[in-house]
Each structure stands twice: as structure tokens, then as C-alpha cells.
Structure 1
Amino acid sequence: MVDPLDGPAFDIVDPRFAACTVAGARVVRIWTGSRWTEGPAWLAGRGLLVWSDIPGDRMMAWDQATGRVSTFRQPANSPNGNTVDRKGRLVTCEQAPHRIARTEADGTITPLVDRIDGRRFNSPNDIVVASDGAIWFTDPSYGKAKDRGDGPDVEGCHAYRFDPATGVVRQMTDDFVMPNGLAFSPDESLLYIVDTGSTERPDGPNHVRRFRVGPDHTLSGGEVLADAHGHFDGLRIDTEGRLWMAADEGVRCYLADGTLIGRVRLPERAANLTFGGAGRDILMITATSSVYLCPVKAVGAAP
């Protein structure tokens, strides 16, 4: 199914966004049929876009060459965020077993980490792999199973860094209400993390924060870069350091200093996005019930 949406794809807020747009571009819907889609990841070696259908407990895949959508995996352990590591393997946040798992080249699934200091994670949500192979992920309590009975849970909701080479997992934050989407700047000197705490309490935050990453991977700073004035969720960064953020009205684009410059309009709330295609210049967006594509004049930073 390829369903072009009516109207222009882009809403230019600042003239600098014009350089990111493709003249005459349309947003197209390539799939619909979920109550909440999440976690788009582009498998470049296979030409596949993979995403999570959380309520359906399945992962779906769109083949760019054929346009066909198929079930990638079901059941799928209540999957949420996905990313691709530097070897092209899919890495997934699995909510039901509260773990991070990797899909190997032969399709087998390798559990990577499900707890820290003997305590189970809440509900791993979004994920990114750094150039050194370390896996960074957020762990709010959305989708947390109750009465799991296999040990104590972690206290609070945090972001973590897991090193598959050593097996060491570290808690990296301690002041989030509901850590959600996260992404590195192109040179990995900055880490952006969304806090969607407003979903849990009336005075809670819904913004994106910017941290500086030290040589020992510790985080400093943490100032608010942009407020959602609604809802943020997942985000990705392009090679120029611009932030592309899932929001209520679609995708917002911010400069690295937090200036909003434009939007990609959708008919429903966006959950997450990635850059895909041969040139990594197609926005691939999961948004509530559907999945959308939009070409842009921007190139996604390495996953």
C-alpha cells in the first residue's frame, strides 16, 4: 500500500528549513493497522524497514524493492525501540522480558542484558548503539509487567550504558521522570534524551535535554534544549547536527541550538523515526496506527 497524503509535506517555520526540503515531496503512508507503532530501524544490507507493533506483539517489515509488508517476528516479547549496530544487526528493546536482545545474521536472538546489580529493568524503551559498540537505552516504566516474580526491580527510571564486550552495565542518569527517546550528535560528544514525565504527573516534563559525553562516558550538563508544548517521543540526528523529533503533529526539526525550523506534518501523533534508503535521506516514521515515508534533503547520522 502506498497512500500519498493530501497537502504539502513540509511546514517551514524558519527559512533555514528550506534547505532540508524536497520540492513537491509528499508524505506517503505505506502501512496501517496498529494501535501503536514504534521503533523504526533501517536494515541497509537487506533493504528493509523494520518496526514494532507493540499492542500486536509483533515486528513488521517493509521491503523497499517490492513494497511488500510482512511479519518480521511474532510473538516478539512486546517490542519497543529498535536500532542497528555497526555490524548491521538489529538490537531491540523487549518489554515483556525487560531486556535488550540482538537479532543475529541467521535470525537467532541473543539476549544481551536484563538487569543491573541483580535488579530487573522496568521496560526498556528506546535504544542507540555508539561507535564503540556500547548500547545506550532508556528504561521508563511504560509497559512494565506486574508481578514478574524473578527478583527485585530497579528503583526509578534511568538511562543506561551496556558494553557487550565486557558485560558491564552502568546507570548514566538519576533525575529523569520518564526517560524516552535518545540520540547522539554526529561526533558523539553530545547525547540528547527526551523526558516524557508529563504522562505520569500533571507537573511532569515533556522536553529534550542535552548532555555532554565525557572521555569516560559520563554525562554532564543536562540542560533543557527544547520543550514539546505537548508530547515528544523518539528522535534522530542528521549529519549537520539537526534534531528530528517525533511530536503530536508529526516530526519537528530543530537546529542544534534548540531553534525550531520546520515540521513534517502527519495526520496522527508520531512515535519515532529513522533515516533510511540508499542515501539515508528518507524519513521513515512510525505514527500511532501507521508508518509513513517522506524524502528530505538531509542525511541521517550513523545509527
Structure 2
Amino acid sequence: MGMTRRNILSIGGAGLVAVAAGKAWGQNLRYPDPAIEILDPSFAKYRIYASTVEQLASGMRWAEGPAYFPEERYLLVSDIPNNRIMKYDEEDGTFTIFRSPANFANGNTRDKEGRLITCEHSVTRRVVRTEKDGTITVLADAYEGKRLNAPNDVVVKSDGTIWFTDPLFGINGNYEGEPAKPDQATTNVYRIDADGKLAAVITDLINPNGLAFSPDEKELYVVEWKGTPNRSIWSYDIAADGAVSNKTKLVNASDFGALDGFKVDRDGNLWCGYGSNGALSEEPTEIAGRKVYALKGKSEDLDGVMVFNPQGDPIGFIRLPERCGNLTFGGPKGNRLYMASSHSLYALYVETQGAV
């Protein structure tokens, strides 16, 4: 049975359900959508009055790395624990398996020639490119003769250089890959030059995660998973030759929030996946006769997308029923925000476009 706005398409054998237009979780029908919270008046211009958050698909275990392909009008999204990449077709609404197994793929992006770049963050532990004929080209799998840790997120600069983060998440346990000891002494941010040479450009962050460039590409932003005292976004100046300097803290997730993957819009705002960082209270609370170490902050108050202006100040929040791991801009006009969030894929039309 084909997908329509009133039908639900079950994909046999995959344990996956694609849902139409947010019906599965009770999408808000009011305009404007109360899930879109304006934290500063400057964010109001990005909200479209008659646009609401839509749930497009569900059934994943940990959704990550969305990448949009405008020529074919589809979105790819990693389902890491299920070891596959999923495909959402924007024209007919179907949600199908694009690649399985996928070496526990995490971050994905599109290069300037329209080819898929993927971070395989376990087993193979490499960055690869899918050619137009479907063959796989390995771009990086080792640095200075030692295997990479677990490539996580990736971005392509306009000069064709590829930048990616290499934390430990994919080799820390069995859920998102296979346990392994790291070969690299540090968790780095790397750059792949046009000639294929691999350079470690940032080596002092503990588990770098999401990354993105400013619209003019003169700044690189990187999430540090183990920031002090909270998760942080660091800003770096990028020279014309790719040299990195002037490390500056731009954002500090001080409300027990977990910054994750993010994208920058044409005005320089950072649209960041957000949720609880899992930190526990120092003292237990008695709940139903049991002493429980509760979370600091409530997941239902933190799950969604936090938007920061170029100065690092929060200006907007998109509330979601699930923790958002990563996001991207897509759609025919580039103004549809796709949000990969735990089990599901969500979308929202906004009055801006991605910087790339």
C-alpha cells in the first residue's frame, strides 16, 4: 500500500513504521505552534505562523546524521544501533532502508559534487564517500599509522576539504557498535585536504561531536561532549590555508542540556540538537517509597532544538517529544528543518535556510 497523508506504511521485517504528517504523536493543529518557543524577540522572524512540527517517520533506535539531497528530493538518516541508513522520500513520503549493514554510520553530509560522505563510527572506523555508481571510496581510516577512534560528524567546506570529529562513542560499548580500545592518544578534529592528506587540526577537545562553519567559513564551531563544567560549543578562527586558531567558548549548556549535532543558518544562527545530558542529582529523592537519584532537569523540558545567535545567546527553542541528536536544512527551498530525534524523524518549515 502506498504512503498517503492518511495512511501508515509498515516496512515488513524492519520493525519500522513511517507515519504521515505527525498523526502518530498528536501533532499540534493550532497556529502558531506552541512547540516553537521564542526566547528572544529576534527569533520571531524565523517562525512561520502556519507551520507546525510534523513527525515524518518512526521506528528507529537512535536517529542521527541527517543529510538532504536536493536533486532527488530525499533525506538520509542514520539509525545507529540498528546498523543502517534510512531514506525518507520527500515526494511520496516513504521511509525505507538505504544501506544495511552500514558499519554503524553516524554523521552524513553531501559534498560539492552531490556525493554522500559518511562517518562509519564502529567496526570499520572510517570516513567514506559513496560514488555516483554506488561504489565506496575510503577517504580516511587511520592517522599516523594508527586507526581512527570513531568518526562522528562531518562537514564539507566550499573548497572541498572535509572536516570531521573523532570521539570514542562508537567503540565504547555494544549498543552503537563494537567495543574496542582507542588507538589514538587524543580525540581530534581532522581535515581531509583535496589531495587526500589527513591533518589533525584540533587535538585538545575531549570527545568532539557536532561541527559546522559560519556562513563566511571564517569560523568553525565544534561541540565538546565533555566540556567543563558543561557541554560546550567552541569557536575557532579559520585562515585561508585552513589553519585553526583563537579557541573561544561560544556556548555553555548550563541547564543540564546536551548539545549534539547542529547546523548554521544563513544569518549565522546555530540550530542545535538538544536534550538531557543524563546528569544525576547529588542526593536521592524519595519517590513512591524508593530513594531515586533523579535527573538534573527534566527530559521533557530539554528535548528539542535550541537556537543560538552568532554571539552564543539562546533565542529560540523547538520543543520535541524526543531528544534531538542532529538536524539539517532541506526541502525544495532549503527552508525545511529536518530533525533526527531518538526514534523518529521530525520536520518544520522555518523562515530561513542553511548556510551551505
Q: Which amino acid aligns with 1:288?
A: S
Q: 2:90 & 2:49 partners in 1: Cα distance?
A: 22
How far residue 155 of structure 1 moved from its aligned partner, in angstroms, is 1.0
Tell me whether 1:286 sits opposite 2:340 in the alignment: yes
CA RMSD of aligned residues (A): 1.4
Q: 1:55 & 1:142 partners in 2: Cα distance?
A: 12
How far residue 274 of structure 1 moved from its aligned partner, in angstroms, is 0.2
Tell me whether 1:266 sits opposite 2:296 in the alignment: no
Map Cα deviations across residues 232-269 of structure 1 (whole Å, 9 max, x no partner).
Answer: 00010011111111111211111101111101110111
How far residue 91 of structure 1 moved from its aligned partner, in angstroms, is 0.3
Counterpart pick for 1:89 among 101, 105, 115: 115
How far residue 50 of structure 1 moved from its aligned partner, in angstroms, is 0.3
Map Cα deviations across residues 106-134 of structure 1 (whole Å, 9 max, x no partner).
Answer: 22211111011101110000000011111
Structure 2 gap segments, 5+ residues each? 1-18, 172-177, 276-302
Contact 1:9 1:25 in 2 (8 A): no
Residue aligned with 2:91, SS: coil
Contact 1:177 1:204 in 2 (8 A): no
Q: Which amino acid aligns with 2:216?
A: D
- Give the number of the structure whose alpha-carbon radius of gyration is greater: 2
How far residue 147 of structure 1 moved from its aligned partner, in angstroms, is 4.7
Tell me whether 1:55 sits opposite 2:81 in the alignment: yes
Residue aligned with 1:18, SS: helix
Partner of 1:115: 142
Question: How many residues are paired up?
Answer: 294
Q: 1:94 & 1:60 partners in 2: Cα distance?
A: 14
Counterpart pick for 1:25 among 51, 64, 69: 51
Counterpart pick for 1:154 among 174, 177, 184: 184
Q: 2:252 & 2:54 partners in 1: Cα distance?
A: 28
Residue aligned with 2:202, SS: coil
Higher relative contact order (CA 8 A, sep 6+): 1
Q: 1:135 & 1:123 partners in 2: Cα distance?
A: 16
Q: Which amino acid aligns with 2:221?
A: Y
Counterpart pick for 1:276 among 330, 335, 339: 330
Partner of 1:16: 42
Partner of 1:251: 305
Tell me whether 1:220 sits opposite 2:245 in the alignment: yes
Q: 2:196 & 2:44 partners in 1: Cα distance?
A: 45
More strand as a share of residues: 1
Matches within 5 A, 1:96-135: 96-135=123-162
Q: 2:229 & 2:170 partners in 1: Cα distance?
A: 19
Counterpart pick for 1:235 among 228, 250, 262: 262
Partner of 2:63: 37
Q: 1:24 & 1:228 partners in 2: Cα distance?
A: 30
Q: 2:180 & 2:246 partners in 1: Cα distance?
A: 36
Map Cα deviations across residues 141-165 of structure 1 (whole Å, 9 max, x no partner).
Answer: 00114458xxx811110100012x3
How far residue 24 of structure 1 moved from its aligned partner, in angstroms, is 2.8
CA 253–41 in structure 1, closer or farther in 2 if over 3 Å, else same: same
Q: Which amino acid aligns with 2:92?
A: T
Partner of 2:5: none
How far residue 72 of structure 1 moved from its aligned partner, in angstroms, is 0.4
Counterpart pick for 2:100 among 68, 74, 77: 74
How far residue 294 of structure 1 moved from its aligned partner, in angstroms, is 0.4
Residue aligned with 1:17, SS: helix
Partner of 1:168: 197
Structure 1 gap segments, 5+ residues each? none
How far residue 215 of structure 1 moved from its aligned partner, in angstroms, is 2.2
Q: 1:122 & 1:292 partners in 2: Cα distance?
A: 30
Q: 2:145 & 2:179 partners in 1: Cα distance?
A: 18
Contact 1:210 1:225 in 2 (8 A): yes
Contact 1:128 1:183 in 2 (8 A): yes
Q: Which amino acid aligns with 2:168?
A: S
Partner of 2:234: 209
How far residue 204 of structure 1 moved from its aligned partner, in angstroms, is 5.5
TM-score relative to the length of structure 1? 0.94
Residue aligned with 2:169, SS: coil
Residue aligned with 2:170, SS: coil
Q: 2:89 & 2:196 partners in 1: Cα distance?
A: 34
Residue aligned with 2:340, SS: strand
Counterpart pick for 1:182 among 211, 227, 236: 211
CA 297–124 in structure 1, closer or farther in 2 if over 3 Å, else same: same
Contact 1:9 1:294 in 2 (8 A): no
Residue aligned with 2:158, SS: coil
